[in-house]
Amino acid sequence: MASYRIAVGTLDGQNITEHFGRSKGFRIIEIDQETDAEKALADIEVVHSEDCSHGHDQSMLESKIQALLDWNVTAVLISQIGPGSERMVTKNGIQVLVSEGEVAKALERIKKFYKKHHFE
């Protein structure tokens, strides 16, 4: 069964709420490529250092990216990401998807994209 995993930056499970650099956590969702069935695998929490408000801590960004790699995510879906963070994420083979609003609507667009680009 072919599937892929998306890390969604959401605090409430309904809306995309998180900026990558300041995100507190991600919901890991696995999507079956053939049936489009979604399965929430985990909600992972990212603990911030005390001085994180003074700019993005390099080791914090690296630990976030490592957590995503540990879950074998294909892409991260967040509301915003800075250029430096985006470079670090994509350098690690994770696609960056920026969107706002409801998680369900964004996932429908993502499923259409993956079908179009992975089955032709």
CB 31 within 8 A of CB 111: yes
What six digits make up the tokens of 39? 């399965």
* pLDDT at residue 116, as a whole number: 75
Q: What's residue 120's pLDDT? A: 40
The reported pLDDT for the residue numbered 1 is: 57
DSSP run (H or E) holding 83 = helix 83-91
What does the pLDDT look like over 54-73, one tens digit per residue? 455 788 888 899 999 999 99
What tens digit of pLDDT does each residue of 81-92 get?
999 999 999 999
pLDDT tens per residue, range 6-26: 999 998 999 999 899 888 889
Place of tokens 């929490």: 45
Q: What was the pLDDT predicted at 57?
A: 74
Q: Which pLDDT score is estimated for 73? A: 97
pLDDT exceeds 70 at position 50:
no
Nearest to 114 by CA among 87, 86, 89, 95: 95
